[in-house]
Amino acid sequence: MRHTYCMELKRTRHAVYGTKYHSVWTPKYGEWILRDDIRDRAKEIFEEISKNNDFEEDGLEIAQDHVHIFLSNPPRYSISKVVGMLNSISASVIFHEHPEVKKELSGGEFWEDG
């Protein structure tokens, strides 16, 4: 995982910003993220979401029981919105591509709340 600690200012048409967030969260039931195919796909999905929404990823690691992501996002998105997008889109894609996962989860949630 690469970390950039110096504050780099970014510019949009209407803003100058420099944000860096380190987020950590866990899957609701850890056994699913232990599967290499799901873990690899989750990483691809996070990278796609970041690219499509102008998030700058400085590090992404999907461990056996949690996810670390270190990123910068434009000010049009709050960090709660960014994490919400990563959680909801990744879970939706994983459920679509691996229906057996959703079938086994009570409540239909892939990621832990909070």
Q: How do residues 50-92 score in pLDDT, each as one tens digit?
A: 999 989 898 999 887 888 999 988 888 898 999 999 999 999 9
| Spatial separation of the C-alpha atoms in residues 114 and 56, rounded to whole Å | 23
Q: Which helix (H) or strand (E) holds 79?
A: helix 79-97
Q: Do the beta carbons of residue 79 and residue 23 sit within 8 Å?
A: yes
The half-sphere exposure of 98 on its side-chain side, counting CA atoms within 13 A, is 18
Could you give the domains of the chain? 22-108 (3.30.70.1290)
pLDDT at 12 over 90: no
Q: Which amino acid is at 73?
A: N
Residue environment code for 33-45, b if the CB has 16+ CB neighbours within 10 A, otherwise e: beeeebbebbbeb
pLDDT for the residue 105? 75
Q: How many CB atoms lie within 10 A of CB 114?
A: 5
The half-sphere exposure of 1 on its side-chain side, counting CA atoms within 13 A, is 15
Per the DSSP assignment, residues forming a β-bridge with 61 are 68
